[in-house]
Amino acid sequence: MIHAYVFWYGDILVAYGLCGLVVFLLRKLSPKRLLGLGIVALAVGSLIFIFFGWSIPYWPQENYQQSLQHWMPSQESIQAEIAAYRGGWLEQMSHRVPATMVMQTFLFLTFMSWRCGGLMLIGMALFKWGALAAQRSKRFYWIMMGTGLGVGAPLVIYGILRDFAAGWSYDYSMFLGSQFNYWGSIPMALGYVAIVMLICKSGLWEKLVRRSAAVGRMALTNYLVQTIICTTIFYGHGLGLFGRVERPGQMAIVVGIWILQLVISPLWLRSFQFGPGEWLWRTLTYLKVQPVRRRAA
């Protein structure tokens, strides 16, 4: 909640925490049941969006116009957001707090809970099958990669082409048009997982794999650090570059942060057992200060 309201309204940790409270209760189910429940949860979220799209003709006109304004904001709205985030921290709250409230209430109930919860359940099934720890055969991962990318990529690409054909209209692209990516992104993700597992099994790029593993062991810290770095770069309490950096510059910042974390994470873990965020997480979980420094060999 602190991350969401104080730093960045796009926070995902609150949604993960709330979904985790539910899926934790299902952890002892068989992989097949976890997979089935995950697909059902994703389907519920999909049906909710399709229902909203179907029901547009019955919406009050005022609500419809408000939704259109969010989908394609006026120059006045865009300038108001730019001014808020180029301002000081208190000025940013005028935009951050309402956006966070929507994310954690309406969007959570209608979309994020079903999406996040469903993916968690599928991930739990894959974990139990050993698919996320490079424990399956290379043949398994080659099939997983080919099927995932072969099914997912055409779905996503077709969906994008359909959105362009529809002029990215709110009535289509927000609801029915979004479903191609909603479903296609899942086999795509499985294809990416398979690629990573094949790299791990092959022994290639060993140094990069070790550095990536270190980043993963500090996932919470790195997530929060990304927010701190980027809000310092873009928001008014830092460099105030919000709305001033074009796409190539944005991508360069992303790659720069990746490289920075790939360098710093292994160095940190040479001296410490886990990152600062993970240390705080464990300390609060066990209500006891956890040792953080590595013991000398």
Q: What is the pLDDT of residue 91?
A: 94
With tokens 């300038």, the residue in question is: 79
Question: pLDDT digits over 201-227, tens only?
Answer: 998 899 999 999 999 999 999 999 999
**Pick from 175, 160, 178: which is nearest to 59 by CA?**
175
How far, in whole angstroms, is CA 167 from its chain's centroid?
A: 26
Question: pLDDT digits over 106-152, tens only?
Answer: 999 999 999 999 999 999 999 999 999 999 999 999 999 999 999 99
Segment 253-282 shows an average pLDDT of 96
Is 297's pLDDT higher than 90?
no
Q: What is the pLDDT of residue 204?
A: 86
Which residue type is seen at 200? C
Q: What is the pLDDT of residue 167?
A: 96
- Report long-range pairs for 14-21 (Cβ below 8 Å, ≥24 apart): 14/104, 14/108, 15/103, 15/104, 15/108, 15/112, 15/113, 15/116, 16/116, 16/120, 18/108, 18/113, 19/113, 19/116, 19/117, 19/120, 20/120
Helix 113-128, helix 13-23: angle, nearest 10: 60
Q: What is the pLDDT of residue 219?
A: 96
Torsion 284-286-291-292 (CA) sign: negative
CB atoms near residue 15 (< 10 Å): 20
Domain residue ranges in the chain: 1-129, 136-204, 206-297
pTM (two decimals): 0.91
Q: What percent of the chain has pLDDT over 70?
A: 99
Residue 286's pLDDT band, with cuts at 50, 70 and 90, is very high
Residue 296's pLDDT band, with cuts at 50, 70 and 90, is low
Q: What is the pLDDT of residue 294?
A: 83
In a 10 Å sphere around its CB, with 0-12 CB exposed, 13-18 middle and 19+ buried, how is residue 90 labelled? exposed
11 vs 233: CA distance, rounded Å: 18
**Pick from 115, 127, 128, 107: which is nearest to 186 by CA?**
115
Are the beta carbons of 192 and 203 closer than 8 angstroms? no
End-to-end CA distance of the chain, in Å?
39
Segment 180-205 shows an average pLDDT of 95
Are the beta carbons of 32 and 118 closer than 8 angstroms? no
Are the beta carbons of 172 and 166 closer than 8 angstroms? yes
Are the beta carbons of 22 and 116 closer than 8 angstroms? no
Within 2-112, residue ranges assigned H as helices are 2, 13-23, 31-54, 61-71, 75-86, 89-104, 106-107
With tokens 């292994």, the residue in question is: 266
Question: pLDDT digits over 162-173, tens only?
Answer: 999 999 999 999
Segment 255-283 shows an average pLDDT of 96
Question: pLDDT digits over 48-87, tens only?
Answer: 999 999 999 999 999 999 999 999 999 999 999 999 999 9
Backbone angles phi, psi at 59, to 5 degrees: -75, 145
